Copies of this chain bind each other. A is one copy, B any other.
Amino acid sequence: MKTEIGAVNALPTVTVLVGTNIDGKPTYTTIAWVGVIGRTSILISVNKQRYITSGIKKNRTFSINLPSENLVEKTDYCGIKSGKDVNKALLFSNFYGKLENAPMIQECPVNMECKVTEMFDTSTHDVFVGEIVATHCEDSALVDGNVSLGKMKPFLFSLTDKGYWKTGKKLANAWEIGKNIE
């Protein structure tokens, strides 16, 4: 039996840490409102209240860092606390790649440096579209040269139950299992 439960967003998303520089120093915030637009194009939606928005607008760059499940405590902390009040960069080893103002987190197995290509304004959130400039991956998360979700162990955020959820085992190969139907 199905029940109509109102206009509820029930789409879970992978939890990421977004980084940028403010006053020349790295800062990060936790974002779950992310999405994919194209092969190298990613979208993040950041509450206007967040400290980090001024940095992203000024630099027109940001990083997306994918924490593994072992970083869940620090990741949640970066979502609760504002960079106005605490120095979140102290929680991590920070590094830079091709972009000067997009700090990345060494402890996250995968990091993507992005250049802002578009910005949209909503009543509550600043939406930034980023073009991926370079991706950095821990060697232990690569299988045959490709990032493996099973090694990366990202975790999901689900707004409806206010929880972080683990990712599990491989279920099937894409563009393959569906061929069984015919």
Contacts and interface: CB of A to CB of B under 8 A. Distances in A.
Among all A-B residue pairs, the 8 with the closest Cβ atoms: A35-B35, A76-B178, A77-B178, A166-B168, A168-B168, A147-B160, A8-B135, A149-B158
Given A125-B37, A164-B172, A169-B165, A178 B79 contact: yes
A134 interface: yes
B168 A174 contact: no
How many copies altogether?
A: 2
Contacts of A147: 5, 8, 10, 158, 160-161
Interface of A: 1-14, 16, 32-43, 45, 64, 66, 69, 72-81, 91, 95, 97, 106, 110-112, 122, 124-125, 127, 131-139, 142-143, 145-150, 152, 154-158, 160-181
Contacts of A112: 8-11
Contact of A174 (B45, B91, B163, B174): B163
Contacts of A72: 171-172, 177
